[in-house]
Amino acid sequence: MKNYFQQVYEIVAQIPKGKIATYGQIAAMLGTPKNARIVGYAMNAAPAEMKLPCHRVLNKKGALSPAYAFGDKAIQHALLEVEGITFDNENCVNVKKHLWDCVLTSPAQI
């Protein structure tokens, strides 16, 4: 059986360019909707060699990750912007516009 972090990484790897996912959305896809914080821990621990699109995972308000996550918030902003993601006046992503519309029928698919 895959551990939780591995399951998170498999979902994150599927987020397409130009879309974002939230921590809570990923947790819900795994059948654990209250584990958004654990998804955040998984993102923080993601091995660089996996080359996951971690920059596409945001909180439910569309706020960028803390500066320590990418070395600087401007890095995450630039990575998203080059993919066509738009931001509001508070530097948050328009979640309704860019949210990845992926519904899994079963956590067993992960």
Within the chain, residue ranges assigned H as helices are: 4-12, 23-29, 36-44, 67-70, 73-81, 95-98
102 is catalytic: no
| Catalytic-role residue among 54, 57, 69, 80 | 54
Closest CA to 4 of 48, 49, 53, 41: 41
Q: What gap in Å lies between CA 60 and CA 36, rounded to an integer?
A: 10
Q: What gap in Å lies between CA 110 and CA 96, rounded to an integer?
A: 25
Catalytic residues: 54
